[in-house]
Structure 1
Amino acid sequence: MNQMPLDFGDDKNGRGRRNESYASRHRLFFALCPSDAIEQQAAAIADDYRRAFSLSGRPRLTTLHVSIIWVGDYPKLPEDAVFAARQAGATVESAPIAITFDRTMSFRREGKARPLVLCGEGGRKALTRLHVQLGVGMHNAGLRHNIRRDFTPHMTLLYDRKTVPPTSLDTPVSWTASEFLLIHSVLGKTEYRIIDRWPLLG
């Protein structure tokens, strides 16, 4: 169960570099974002776990999302990569996705703070199809496809050095995603910029 999270810091398309400082790395990725009500529910869960396990990590409540696929990390965000990613996003055909995260767990990251995440099987097949569709679209647009066999949909609540054991939630976190987003973030900062968005219409 202790699977690795999507490590969007890997150099998978020859442009991003692991040894660049966070301050100089611009990240481009596709994601789903929860509603305000789900953010509040996630905030309550994060607070409960911080108290129960004496965690020091700060909740990532201003940037909650479900990552679908990583496009790349760059010293400066290149216009050609943004254009190609937009082309890939426009190829997707998917109905709204009903997501249910019914458990929490810590992912392993050797030598680094571990993500405490919400995860579950509800919506996993549809999210995996979206992951693959975007990967194929990226490949056709001239980007690396970045499709992962170990794709594990999750929402990261916080990072902490302590490991939290897998736990089932009394009240699952559930919502229906009606759109997906292309997001630009600067690593080390807690601000995301939505570059584009597409409805999930079926």
Structure 2
Amino acid sequence: MARPAQQPSFGGMFDSQPQYRLFFGLWPDALATKSLTRLMAQLCIDGTMPGRPVDADRLHLTLHHLGDFVDQIPPSLMPAAQAAASNVRMPPFEIAFDRIGGTRGQFLLRASDKLTALRDFRQALTTALIKTGLRRYVDPIFNPHVTLSYDFSDVPEMSIEPIGWIVREFFLIESLLGKHKHITRGDWPVQP
């Protein structure tokens, strides 16, 4: 099973923390972001969601985590990922999430539905990445979710009113780790 790329370790004092992450993702639209912000505020007031809520402009669903890197993103990775993305074809589709809960350090928004259209879209992106020579960056495991908070408390999963949006575009995002900053490195319409 392929795993997202990591720079090799030299052990001990030579290791550094990753500074950069590259991933494909989806941003919720404005209405869904507003609903998520309201939900997070209420969950904090109720004491249901521990930890600090994720900033509204950083709420996302990861499609493919391409890797964490110490010094820089490999120079050939970004253009190859952008080329792969330009070959993805699928009509816009709706996704909705209706479950919340926390485990292993994250408080998550999930779906009880199988999200078939989302999974089909991710498979189309996976195929494009492989055709572009990026198989080693493809992780076959996909558990769709939106992280609402980072905390180490377990919170049982519970139902909420569905929050969703129509996926009309997807993004290649560079995350500056530890700086709470995302930089869009490409966006593409979801189109037939």
Same fold (TM over 0.5): yes
Q: What residue number does 1:147 align with?
A: 139
| RMSD across aligned positions (CA) | 2.3
Distance 1:128 1:56 in 2: 29
The structure that has the greater radius of gyration is 2
Name the SS of the counterpart of 1:147 in structure 2: coil
Q: What residue number does 2:37 align with?
A: 43
Distance 1:88 1:182 in 2: 11
Using the TM superposition, name which of 114-123 and 98-107 deviates more: 114-123
Which of 10, 16, 20 is the aligned partner of 2:16? 20
Q: Is the 8 A contact 1:100 1:121 kept in 2?
A: no
Name the SS of the counterpart of 2:57 in structure 1: coil
Q: Is the 8 A contact 1:93 1:201 kept in 2?
A: yes
Name the SS of the counterpart of 1:41 in structure 2: helix
- Mark the runs of 5 or more structure 1 residues left unpaired by the alignment: 1-9
Distance 1:14 1:140 in 2: 21
Q: Is the 8 A contact 2:67 2:137 kept in 1?
A: no
Q: Is the 8 A contact 1:16 1:74 kept in 2?
A: no
Name the SS of the counterpart of 1:85 in structure 2: helix
Q: Is the 8 A contact 1:98 1:122 kept in 2?
A: no
- State the identity %: 29
Q: CA deviation at 1:162?
A: 1.6
Superposed counterparts of 1:6-155, under 5 Å? 12-15=4-7, 20-21=16-17, 24-53=18-47, 55-60=49-54, 61-75=56-70, 76-107=72-103, 109=104, 114-122=105-113, 124-143=115-134, 144-149=136-141, 151-155=142-146
| Distance verdict in 2 for CA 1:90–1:121, change over 3 Å | farther
Name the SS of the counterpart of 2:28 in structure 1: coil
Q: What residue number does 2:12 align with?
A: none
Distance 1:102 1:80 in 2: 39
| Distance verdict in 2 for CA 1:122–1:178, change over 3 Å | farther
Q: CA deviation at 1:67?
A: 0.7
Q: Is the 8 A contact 1:16 1:73 kept in 2?
A: no
Number of aligned positions between the proteins: 184
Q: Is the 8 A contact 2:49 2:149 kept in 1?
A: no
Distance 1:51 1:73 in 2: 34
| Distance verdict in 2 for CA 1:130–1:15, change over 3 Å | farther
| Distance verdict in 2 for CA 1:130–1:136, change over 3 Å | same
Q: TM-score, normalised by structure 2?
A: 0.86
Moved >6 Å (runs of 4+): none
| Distance verdict in 2 for CA 1:98–1:163, change over 3 Å | same
Distance 1:13 1:184 in 2: 14
| Distance verdict in 2 for CA 1:70–1:93, change over 3 Å | same
